[in-house]
Amino acid sequence: MPAPFTHALRVRYGECDPQGIVFNANYLLYFDVAFTELWRAAVGPWAEMVASGVDVVVAEAHLGFRAPARFDDELELRLRIARLGTTAITTEIEVMRSEELLLTGWLRHVCVDTQGWQKTDLPTWVRSGLRRFALPDAERGEDLLA
């Protein structure tokens, strides 16, 4: 199995709720930051993709909470491409504090053209770059929930 892409971040005070834990919606922000960094490492700058006439947008998100993160915690987000379909990408994400699993989740992005925002196939160069972080069976069959 390929090593996951990892992105480290530290919880800022403003990301916490009155109970002193990370407000739940901020995990989607963490996911977005980590996915953007995975993309930069695997494919290149986001703007280059958009300039080529395609973009990827979030179609679905799932979060499974296990334990809270708190102000000043150092977190590591571990990402793997679980599904690399014809038009969609599903990324599994784990949020860790040291070796403690705090949250699991996934994002499903769909590729769209930048002119009409219609679903379109992932470009070959995008697929090739993302394979670096893809699970062995990520390209099985057709897109799920396409």
Are the CB atoms for 104 and 82 separated by under 8 Å?
A: no
Percent of the chain with pLDDT over 70: 96
Residue 145 above 60 pLDDT?
A: no
Give which of 79, 83, 55 is closest to 143, Cα–Cα. 83
pLDDT mean across residues, the chain? 95
Are the CB atoms for 92 and 136 separated by under 8 Å?
A: no
- CATH topology (fold) of 5-133: Thiol Ester Dehydrase; Chain A (3.10.129)
* Each residue's pLDDT tens digit, 90-121: 999 999 999 999 999 999 999 999 999 999 99
Dist CA 114 CA 131 (whole Å) = 23
In the beta sheet, which residues pair with residue 103? 65, 95
Dist CA 138 CA 140 (whole Å) = 6
Predicted model pTM: 0.92
Residue 78 above 50 pLDDT?
A: yes
Dist CA 85 CA 97 (whole Å) = 31
* Each residue's pLDDT tens digit, 39-62: 999 999 999 999 999 999 999 999
Amino acid at 108: R
What's the confidence (pLDDT) of residue 146?
43
Dist CA 48 CA 85 (whole Å) = 21
What's the confidence (pLDDT) of residue 95?
98
Average pLDDT over residues 9-21: 96
Dist CA 22 CA 36 (whole Å) = 21
Residue 141 above 70 pLDDT?
A: no
